[in-house]
Amino acid sequence: MIVVYGSINIDLIGHAPSLMRPGETVLGSTLEFAPGGKGANQALAAARAGAGVKMVGCIGEDEFAGRALALLREAEIDLSFVRRMDRHTGVAMIVVDDAGENMITVLPGANSRLSATALDQAGITAEDTLLLQLETPLEGVAAAAARARAAGAMVVLNLAPYRDFPRDLLKDVSVLVVNEGEMAGLLEKLDAPEMAPEKAVAWLSETLDLTVVATLGGKGAIACEAGDIVKVPALKITPVDTVGAGDTFVGYLAAGLAEGRALKSALELAATAAGLACLKPGAQPAIPERDLVDEKLAG
């Protein structure tokens, strides 16, 4: 079972010819509503990858709550430990330009009430994988990681969205997933010099004593596990929207590792799924089903 402890949002997605600069107003075209939140996105990706998934998170007592859970419910994710709070459901305001790039502002709302007590109630065992991000209060993320590690579970942390965090959080992590910006932030936090991705994942893996996975956009992904470097390419595509690619990668990676795949095989699965997610707009609506990913891998 993959237990996802994290955020649940509703995404407000606007489309515009270009992304705005500070002080600039850009006239856009369309507005869409879609379920989102890094925790919920990754939960749905893991479920569509074929894993059993339990979601631990918070929503509000508002009209957005039902929309935010709609696709998780459709995917038969266990929502028994999603709590309703007296704050608004988390909202992500997203603008996507004609090249598929995006800018995102997140208003956490009910997500700011999530604590590790919810994980205690949900329960976690040595057979489970705990999947974490940084879109909910950090003290809860750290406590959840500690509880899961003490139970013998694998702990996968996506260091996103990047913000300052207590270094002690990393001591309970089994697999750390970063993009290039997050990896640069982590190196700076550790007072390390800038490094090329291959050297950086190796240095971080050795220094932190965990498996490090870095996504490199169109250059694929690279990882280091116990001193061994693994690389996989990205799909050759013309992206429509990259907003859901990172969360799709993380959810599929966690599912691949949980089903016992070797790291390279799990990376190939995740990178293929992330590429396919760039071919549709939105985050959760774009996450591909496992049969499409397997078909692409086989072809």
Residue 149 identity (one-letter amino acid): R
The pair of three-digit structure tokens given for residue 157, joined into one six-digit string: 């942390």
Which residue out of 11, 168, 247, 294 is catalytically annotated? 247
Angle at alpha carbon of residue 167, lines to 166 and 169, rounded to 5°:
75
For residue 161, whether the previous peptide bond is cis, meaning omega lies within 30 degrees of 0, is yes
CA distance 155 to 101: 30
Are 287 and 45 a contacting pair, CB within 8 Å?
A: yes
Q: For tokens 């932190």, name the residue.
A: 208
Distance CA 13, CA 195 (A): 35
Long-range contacts for 269-273 (Cβ within 8 Å, ≥24 apart)? 269/49, 269/293, 269/297, 270/221, 271/215, 271/220, 271/221, 271/232, 271/233, 271/234, 271/235, 272/235, 272/296, 272/297, 273/45, 273/49, 273/248, 273/249
Regarding beta strands 9-15 and 90-96, do their DSSP bridges make them parallel or antiparallel, or are they unpaired? parallel
Q: Are 92 and 118 in contact (CB under 8 A)?
A: no
Active site residue 247: yes
Distance CA 121, CA 23 (A): 46
Q: How far apart are the first and last CA of the chain?
A: 29
Residues taking part in catalysis? 247
